[in-house]
């Protein structure tokens, strides 16, 4: 360092305080420990999916629990092949993808329109309705399962293919998604709507041609939440959908299929873990791909009413 600078009367060397350094060290140690707590089960799942029963039994209680069986990687191929083809898990995964795609479209249309009405239009009882939306968000879903089941059973009958509607229609409406859309739309300047109305657009035209194109972050956020919700849903589909008959295409989604696969006689631990890996990959890929939009969606939604 230049001695002329050090000789200045107000010069103070830039030293990191010891207290700050200790805090940073503790912060990183705690972060590493927490990361390991979350990562180790995933490593265990991935490693076990590559093993046969003998290799799995030998690895119990050792560090090899978290390491793949590199000497017999052909077993991993057999595990995944068996799960995908022999147990038809690809059919259940296809069901979940179809259900999720339909639910995402319906959520954007129905909940998006509801959020637009709440955010941009004025009508009697709007404040009361806003309060009800916030109140319903905190009501546990479990409290409405039995009444919802009764309503769906009376209206749809729950007979074979009609039971698919019992899975899709209730998931098409989400109070939480209405709230997200409402908060996001409130931050869109009114000038865009006014310009569209001057050009002759009606309310629906403003929504589809102006509001939705400006709402990519919240659309991605809602789409990811809907996909994860449908993909992970087990209780409701297992109540609504019938069990698969021999020779017919099953209607159950992938999570209910996992319970069925686990109960199959002779299935190995490696095959069970392989099925868990297969069901986890779409969620991981979806979240990583849309993470930027999710952050933007929440960051611009605000909390004002």
Phi, psi of 174 (to 5 degrees): -135, 120
Whether 205 has a pLDDT exceeding 50, the answer reads yes
Whether 244 has a pLDDT exceeding 80, the answer reads no
**Average pLDDT score over residue span 245-264:** 79
> What confidence tier does 305 reach under pLDDT thresholds 50, 70, 90?
very low
Whether 155 has a pLDDT exceeding 90, the answer reads no
Whether 5 has a pLDDT exceeding 60, the answer reads no
> What confidence tier does 103 reach under pLDDT thresholds 50, 70, 90?
very high
Helices marked H in the chain: 3-6, 18-48, 53-59, 73-81, 89-106, 112-120, 126-137, 145-156, 163-171, 175-186, 190-198, 203-206, 216-232, 235-240, 254-262, 269-301
Distance CA 279, CA 139 (A): 29
Question: Which of the residue ranges 12-16, 142-146, 167-171, 301-305 would you say has the lowest mean pLDDT?
Answer: 301-305
Distance CA 157, CA 145 (A): 16
pLDDT at 98: 93
Residue with tokens 């940073």: 24
**Average pLDDT score over residue span 139-150:** 82
Whether 265 has a pLDDT exceeding 70, the answer reads yes
pLDDT at 246: 66
> Which CATH number does 87-301 carry?
1.10.3720.10
pLDDT at 101: 94
Whether 304 has a pLDDT exceeding 50, the answer reads no
Question: Which of the residue ranges 69-73, 91-95, 158-162 would you say has the lowest mean pLDDT?
Answer: 158-162
pLDDT at 127: 84
Residue with tokens 């939705």: 212
pLDDT at 131: 84
pLDDT at 8: 52
> What confidence tier does 96 reach under pLDDT thresholds 50, 70, 90?
very high
pLDDT at 154: 78
Whether 252 has a pLDDT exceeding 80, the answer reads yes
Q: Domain segments of the chain: what residues?
A: 3-72, 87-301
Tokens of 81: 């092949």
The mean predicted confidence, pLDDT, of the chain is 82
Distance CA 276, CA 255 (A): 9
């Amino acid at each position: 360092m230049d001695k002329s600078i050090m000789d200045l009367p107000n010069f103070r060397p830039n030293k990191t305080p010891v207290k700050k350094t200790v805090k940073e060290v503790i912060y990183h140690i705690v972060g590493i420990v927490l990361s390991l707590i979350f990562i180790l089960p995933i490593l265990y799942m991935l490693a076990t999916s590559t093993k046969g029963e003998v290799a799995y039994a030998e690895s119990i209680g050792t560090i090899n629990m978290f390491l793949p069986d590199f000497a017999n990687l052909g077993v991993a191929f057999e595990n995944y092949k068996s799960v995908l083809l022999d147990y038809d898990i690809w059919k259940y995964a296809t069901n979940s993808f179809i259900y999720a795609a339909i639910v995402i479209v319906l959520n954007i249309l129905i909940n998006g329109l509801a959020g637009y009405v709440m955010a941009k239009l004025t009508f009697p009882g709007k404040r009361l309705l806003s309060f009800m939306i916030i109140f319903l968000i905190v009501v546990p879903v479990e409290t409405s399962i039995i009444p919802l089941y009764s309503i769906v059973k009376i209206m749809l009958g729950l007979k074979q293919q009609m039971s698919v509607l019992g899975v899709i229609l209730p998931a098409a409406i989400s109070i939480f998604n209405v709230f997200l859309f409402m908060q996001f739309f409130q931050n869109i300047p009114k000038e865009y709507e006014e310009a569209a109305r001057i050009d002759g657009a009606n309310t629906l035209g403003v929504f589809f041609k102006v509001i939705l194109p400006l709402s990519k972050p919240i659309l991605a956020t809602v789409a990811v939440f809907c996909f994860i919700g449908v993909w992970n849903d087990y209780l409701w589909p297992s109540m609504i959908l019938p069990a698969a008959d021999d020779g017919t295409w099953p209607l159950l989604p992938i999570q209910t299929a996992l319970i069925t696969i686990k109960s199959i006689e002779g299935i190995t631990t490696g095959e069970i873990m392989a099925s868990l890996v297969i069901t986890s990959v779409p969620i991981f890929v979806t979240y990583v791909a849309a993470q930027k939009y999710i952050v933007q969606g929440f960051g611009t939604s605000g909390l004002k009413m």
